[in-house]
Amino acid sequence: MNTPTNPISLRITDEEMALLDSRVGLDGARNRSDVIRAAIRTYLEKQPLLPEMDTVTIPLGRSLKAKLGDLYEMYGTTPEVAALQGMQDYVRKLIAEDAKLNQILSEGLAEARDKTTRRKEFTE
């Protein structure tokens, strides 16, 4: 049974129409309306849960897409979960590297100060 739909008017450029038409026949889209409904659904479903959150879109090549498919089959890990985990690991790594660099700089600064600061035994 089909769900009732509502007609709407939409103005788009010739370029957008060509892009729209290029998607007809792909992913089960039988016509322009199917493509537009799928695009709207994807847009709305991919919105962040909270206003202060953001969404990242990552284009995937065939090889990585296949590997992510295998990961999902083996462990149930979705591409979104894998991407989030990868970004979190990357941020942790940068923070650790930054902390290490700050420690090295602090030690170097302390050493330089020791070499240039007047010593008590020379100022009395």
Taking the domains of the chain in order of start, what are their residue ranges?
Answer: 11-53, 56-124
pTM exceeding 0.95: no
pLDDT at 13 over 90: yes
What is 62-84 written as a DSSP string?
A: HHHHHHHHHHHHHH---HHHHHH
pLDDT at 96 over 90: yes
Q: How many CB atoms lie within 10 A of CB 50?
A: 7
pLDDT band of residue 122 (cuts 50, 70, 90) is low
